[in-house]
Amino acid sequence: MTSAIYIHIPFCKTHCPYCDFAVWVISHPRHANTIEAYIDSLCLEIKDRSHGEYIQTIYFGGGTPSILSSDQLSRIMQTLKENFQVSHQAEITLETNPGTVDLEKLKSIRQLGFNRLSIGVQTFDSELLQKLARGHNKEDALKTLSWAKEAGFENISLDLIFGLPGQSMSSWEDTIDQALSEQIQHISCYALTIEEGTPFHKMYSNSNHTHTNSAKNSVIPSEEITVQMYEKLQVKLLEKGFEQYEVSNFAKTGFQSKHNLTYWRNEEFYGYGVSAHEFIKGERKSHNRNLEEYIQNPHSQIVLDCNPALEELMLKLRTNEGLNLIEYQKKFDINLLTQKEKQIKQFQEAELIILSENNLKLTSKGFILSTYLIGELAV
Ligand code: SF4
């Protein structure tokens, strides 16, 4: 039964040079018509593809959903409430970027029923923020956080990135310390990946980590330093009472993202909007990435080729809940204990995985090597 909904809002104030998401920059009043047309199509899609299910999590992601006005967010929320039974306890998240909201807007967002904010801070180092062309600085991020609390949000997550060009270990530690001093409940952290086709790829791809751009301090930290940054994060967050419940996610007790756990538990969810993915009745589908085509025909989806056994393994091993090997065998007729006996033994001895009562999970040391370990355990 589907109880989670993802809503994709593809608009941003600027296009960050490292981002390869399907994003449209809203910089001119004429774009207002595009946004309105997009919301019309989005609401039509929601209306036509809903079956009145009982919904426990809704996540507005992007893009920058907080770029929408309160009235536009309200229209989408209203459509969701008219077409689904949204639980009174539902976790309803809005991705928000500093510089797109003020106190009044956050108060009205809270009144619309959003009860969780995921704030794209990335770093508290203003010089690095400028290189990332995020359009905000440290003060903007701190103001957004303070307004969010004043507006009544009691479930706030920060997005941070490490391994940035020119980022030193001390700058990274300052960012973690600042985040921890802000009394927030959740932190998502990702290492920067240089994606093909992005401006960062041109600037940094064949540089062997030491590109020749004249900008000072623009060297990308080595893999060794990036791993040390991740370890530093794990240690500091653990000390302050955060639990690492997924490779890139840390939460205070009771504040794990219910919505994202749906993905990692390999449960069903609706995805609405351009480029949005969804998982319903064993099928993964995606909308295409063309905004105009989506506005013309919001119902068109592509069924994705997938390997369900591999996906379940990859998703569940990302979390500290791990993978139940008995259930996995029942579902996919794969006995990992016999098929991967050598690797499981080797990783246990290296304290990278724990096998207990037929449940396999990565240790915090294992989370660092998750991509490699999951690859080795896949059948
Ligand atoms: S704000 Fe986020 S989604 Fe928008 S361009 Fe930057 S990284 Fe991409």
* Residue-level pLDDT at 21: 87
Give 329 Cα–ligand 1 centroid separation in angstroms: 40
251's CB contacts (< 8 A; 6+ apart) are 185, 186, 187, 242, 243, 245, 257
Q: First vs last Cα of the chain: how many Å apart?
A: 28
Confidence bin at 212 (pLDDT 50/70/90)? very low
Q: Could you tell me what percentage of the chain is helix, strand and coil, using 3-state DSSP and rounding each to the nearest 5?
A: 40, 20, 35
**Quick one: which of 192, 325, 319, 334 has its CA closest to 266?**
319
The model's confidence at residue 211, banded by pLDDT at 50, 70 and 90, is very low
Domains in the chain: boundaries: 4-264, 307-379
- Say if ligand 1 is within 6 A of residue 23 CB: yes
Atom 2 (ligand 1): residue with closest C-alpha? 63
Protein residue whose Cα sits closest to atom 8 of ligand 1: 19
Is the CATH number 1.20.200.10 carried by domain 307-379?
Answer: no
* Residue labelled with tokens 């751009």: 213
Residue 111, amino acid: Q
pLDDT average, residue stretch 46-57: 96
The CB of 15 under 6 Å from ligand 1? The reply is yes
Determine whether the shortest distance from the Cβ of 66 to ligand 1 is under 6 A: no
Q: Which fold has domain 4-264?
A: TIM Barrel (3.20.20)
pLDDT band at 213 (very low <50, low <70, confident <90, very high): very low
Q: Does residue 378 have a pLDDT over 90?
A: yes
**What pLDDT shows up at residue 3?**
96
- Average of per-residue pLDDT values in the chain: 94
Q: What value does the mean pLDDT take over residues 33-50?
A: 96
pLDDT tier at 109, thresholds 50, 70, 90: very high
Residue 288's pLDDT is: 84
**Using one digit for the tens of pLDDT, what is the confidence trace for 310-344?**
999 999 999 999 999 999 999 999 999 999 999 99
Q: What is the pLDDT of residue 349?
A: 97
Three-state DSSP state, 8: strand
pLDDT in tens, 186-201: 999 999 998 888 989 8
C-alpha to C-alpha distance for 177 and 126, rounded to whole angstroms: 15
% of residues, the chain, pLDDT over 90: 87
HEC sequence for 215-261 = CCCCCCCCHHHHHHHHHHHHHHHHHCCCEEEECCEEECCCCCCHHHH
Cα of 41 vs its chain's centroid, Å: 24
Atom of ligand 1 nearest to the CA of 18: 7
CA of 63 to the centre of ligand 1 (A): 6
Q: Residue 374 and residue 379: Cα distance in Å, rounded?
A: 10
Ligand 1, residues 11, 15, 26, 128: which to mutate, most atoms within 8 A of Cβ?
15
d(CA 64, CA 23) in angstroms, rounded, equals: 9
pLDDT digits (tens, 9 = 90+) for 129-158: 999 999 899 999 999 999 999 999 999 999
CA pair distance 298, 113, nearest whole angstrom = 25
pLDDT at 22: 80
> Which has the higher per-residue pLDDT, 128 or 22?
128
User: CB-based burial of residue 108 (10 Å sphere; 0-12 exposed, 13-18 middle, 19+ buried)?
Assistant: middle
Q: What is the pLDDT of residue 325?
A: 97
Helices (H) and strands (E) in the chain, counts: 16, 17
Question: Which residue owns the Cα nearest ligand 1 atom 3?
Answer: 63
pLDDT above 50: residue 214: no
Q: Is 21 in the pocket of ligand 1 (CB under 6 A)?
A: yes
Residue whose Cα lies nearest atom 5 of ligand 1: it is 15
Interior/surface letters 274-297, b for 16+ CB within 10 angstroms, e for the rest: bbbbbbeeeebeebeeebeebbee
Q: Report how far ligand 1's centroid is from the alpha carbon of 170 (Å).
A: 25
Q: Are 94 and 114 within 8 A, CB to CB?
A: yes
- State whether the beta carbon of 20 lies less than 6 angstroms from ligand 1: no
List 272's β-bridge partners, or say none. 7
Check residue 63 and give left, alpha or beta (phi > 0: left; psi -120 to 50: alpha). Answer: left
Please report which confidence band the pLDDT of residue 206 belongs to, taking 50, 70 and 90 as the band edges: low
Mean pLDDT of 62-76: 97
